[in-house]
Amino acid sequence: MAQLVKKIKLQIPAGKATPAPPVGTVLGPAGINLQEFCTKYNDATKDKMGDILPVEISVYDDRTFDFVIKTPPTAFLIKKVGNIKKGSTKGSTEIVGKLTKAQVREIAEIKLPDLNCYSVEEAMKIVEGTAKNMGVSIEE
């Protein structure tokens, strides 16, 4: 059986992986077939077009690979759901947008598989903390 050589983590727009940089410059030295990776990744993520998805690639000594696609970053989801262009440069002291509790719950349900918690309520607290640091207020 092939032995794991390294794990590579990237954030790539869904359905838009190409052998050009940044994907090619990171995966090229690992020795895997770039075109094969791009094709498999794009097929697996074509239903999530527009989102940025973290991917964890396991590279083996016989130049084979497999990958696990994670949920989009919390900050990306907060900006997407709240229609916010970018987070605050001054942290929680400058408010740049608002989210409702329902929107926070929606984000928490999406992120739950990748967060270190067991319930949606705990995930909501994590999302609220990220939102606060981005300068996004939470309305009751």
Look up the pTM and report it.
0.77
Q: Which amino acid is at 103?
A: Q
Q: Quick: pLDDT tens for 4-45.
A: 888 989 888 888 888 888 888 888 888 888 888 888 888 888
Cβ contacts of residue 56 below 8 Å, gap of 6+?
Answer: 7, 8, 9, 67, 68, 70
**Domains of the chain listed by start with CATH number:** 4-69 (3.30.1550.10), 74-139 (1.10.10.250)
In tens, the pLDDT along 41-96 reads 888 888 888 888 899 999 888 888 888 998 888 888 888 888 888 777 777 777 87
pLDDT at 96: 79
Q: Across residues 119-137, what is the average pLDDT?
A: 86
What pLDDT is recorded for position 1?
64
**Counting every residue, how long is the chain?**
140
Q: What is the pLDDT of residue 56?
A: 92
What gap in Å lies between CA 79 and CA 68, rounded to an integer? Answer: 24
Sequential DSSP letters for 40-99: HHHHHHGGGTT-EEEEEEEEETTS-EEEEE-PPPHHHHHHHHHT-SS--SSGGGS--EEE
Q: CB of 53 within 8 A of CB of 37?
A: no
